[in-house]
Amino acid sequence: MKNLLTIVCGSALLALSSGGVAQAAVLGTQEFSNAGGSGDIFKDYQLTLTIGLQSDRYPSNAPLFNGLKVTPADVGRTFTVNADTDPNFNQFVSYLTDGNPDGMLLRTGTGSLGRAGGALGASGNLFGGNPDLAGNRIDSISVQINSMNLDSPGTNPNGDGVWTDESFNATVIVEGEPLNQQSAAPVPEPTSTLGVLAFGMFTTGLIRQRQQRSLHK
């Protein structure tokens, strides 16, 4: 009987405690892609995400994922940074939350030939039409590798074997806590919580009745 009572009470406490847990939300996403070819031979990208004023053609502030090496084998993977893992995270976030429509750039340099790589830009009203993410608490920023293909010498248009056909698609994902959830006090689900508590009280009553009957026998 004691074990049953413990389980019931524990379930009720669990329902109370889990009702106010804040879950991280996706605040916005931005897709970057390219397709074409280059007169170099390489087998990887070294990704760097930068941000800056919308007027900057190649914004270079607060680089994240500085030189992160990815290959076609990384398709499907997601790489994440936060304030604890990237020293430029807080500066990057300050641009994302200043109320101005800044631009982001995902650089795809390579280390094989010191190649500067492509500049996959996105500017203006990012993240679904919002100028930026002002007021939101940003906890992490991720790069998800959706597709990647590097083929050397590929089509070899120059006929010298020094060429790489390339295609790439990635999504930048910003996660955190939305502004409209920060001011609201977490409230547990009343129906489920009260239901579990009522069940606990009912079960406790049954246990006591059985104990009393046992004493009278």
Residue corresponding to tokens 């977490």: 186
Give the integer Cα–Cα distance in Å for 96 and 154: 39
* Joined tokens for residue 213: 């009957």
DSSP the chain: -HHHHHHHHHHHHHHHHHTTPPPPEEEEEEEEEEEEEESS--S-EEEEEEEE-TT-SS--EEEEEEEEEE-GGGTT-EEEE-TTT-TTHHHHHHHHTSSS--EEEEEEE-SSS----EEEEE-SSHHHH-S--TTPEEEEEEEEEEEEEEESSTT-TTSSS--EEEEEEEEEEEEEE-HHHHSSPP---HHHHHHHHHHHHHHHHHHHHHHHHHHH-
Q: Between 30 and 89, name the one with better pLDDT.
A: 89
Q: For residue range 78-137, what is the model confidence (pLDDT) as tens digits?
A: 999 999 999 999 999 998 888 877 788 888 876 543 334 444 444 444 454 455 788 889
Q: Where are the domains of the chain?
A: 25-182
Q: In this structure, what token pair is assigned to residue 24?
A: 């991280």
Enter the tokens of residue 194.
Answer: 């009260």
Q: What is the pLDDT of residue 198?
A: 42
CA diameter of the chain:
101
What is the pTM for the complete model shown? 0.68
Q: Is the pLDDT of residue 179 over 80?
A: no
Q: Which two structure tokens, joined as six digits, stand for 217?
A: 């026998």
End-to-end CA distance of the chain: 18
The pLDDT of residue 184: 41
List Cβ<8 Å contacts ≥24 apart for 151-156: 152/41, 152/42, 152/43, 153/41, 154/37, 155/37
* Predicted local confidence at residue 209, as pLDDT: 53
Which of 9-18 are b and which e, b meaning 16 or more Cβ less than 10 Å from the residue's Cβ?
beebeebeee
Q: What is the per-residue pLDDT for 86?
A: 97
pLDDT for 23 equals 67
**Mean pLDDT over the full length of the chain:** 72
In this predicted structure, what is the pLDDT of residue 217?
52
Q: Is the pLDDT of residue 154 over 80?
A: yes
- Binned at pLDDT 50, 70 and 90, residue 2 comes out as very low
Task: Supply the pLDDT for residue 133.
Answer: 83
